[in-house]
Amino acid sequence: MIPFSVIRERSYPTVYGKDSFIPHGVAGINSAAREPELAEEFLRLLFSAEVQDYDLQDGLPMNTSSQEAFVAQGSDSLEEQGDMMGSVMITEIGDGEEGEAGEENNANFNFAAPLKTELEQMFEKTEDLKTQVFADGILQDLIMEEAAGYYDGSKELEEILSGIQTRVDTYRAE
């Protein structure tokens, strides 16, 4: 996900998938649970305002009243954020292949917390989310392993794509 500060700075459109989302965590009750009532009580507590009102810096609240409280703590403008804002500069030193040897390519990235209006927009969009999408670490790893040959120049793109397709087919067949 692109941080709101980058979307704001570069005037990118905020595009959301139709009804899909990547969950930060998943909670549910196993159909074979020995104590489903206790598990249900735990889930009620987990999604209660009592727990969801804590900002643990690892996700967003799902409880509606907690979402409203989260938005209320936000800023109306970047100026209000003051010291909470920051920036990062990434410098890449040229290798002589493109441009002059030793040429610096700088990229500045400013960051700030989402504004109240951005949080409201995001929570509004979450109401339509229904389909969980999970990343498959094995597939990600095999793609990265195959792609390494392209990046180091030892293989052509078509060879990389063929290798990825073969490995994905094998993985899916297992």
DSSP assignment letter at 73: T
Q: Please list, residue by residue across 34-44, b when 16 or more beta carbons sit within 10 angstroms of its beta carbon and e when fewer do.
A: eeeeeeeeeee
Q: Which domain holds residue 171?
A: 135-174
Distance between CA atoms of 134 and 137, rounded to whole angstroms? 9
Pair (9, 77) in one structural domain: yes
Q: Any residues with CB less than 8 A from the CB of 139 and at least 6 apart, and which?
A: 168, 171
Q: How many folded domains does the chain comprise?
A: 2
Pair (72, 152) in one structural domain: no
In a domain, 149, yes or no: yes
CA angle 19, 20, 21 (to 5 degrees): 130
Q: How confident is the model at residue 96, as a pLDDT?
A: 47
Name residues of the chain where pLDDT drops below 70. Answer: 1-6, 12-18, 82-111
Pair (79, 8) in one structural domain: yes
CA angle 10, 12, 16 (to 5 degrees): 150
Q: How confident is the model at residue 78, as a pLDDT?
A: 76
Q: How confident is the model at residue 84, as a pLDDT?
A: 57
Pair (11, 27) in one structural domain: yes
Pair (17, 64) in one structural domain: yes
In a domain, 55, yes or no: yes
Pair (60, 127) in one structural domain: yes
Pair (79, 161) in one structural domain: no
In a domain, 130, yes or no: yes
The tens digit of pLDDT for each residue in 148-170 reads 988 888 999 999 999 999 999 99
Q: Which amino acid is at 70?
A: F
Does the pTM surpass 0.75? The reply is no
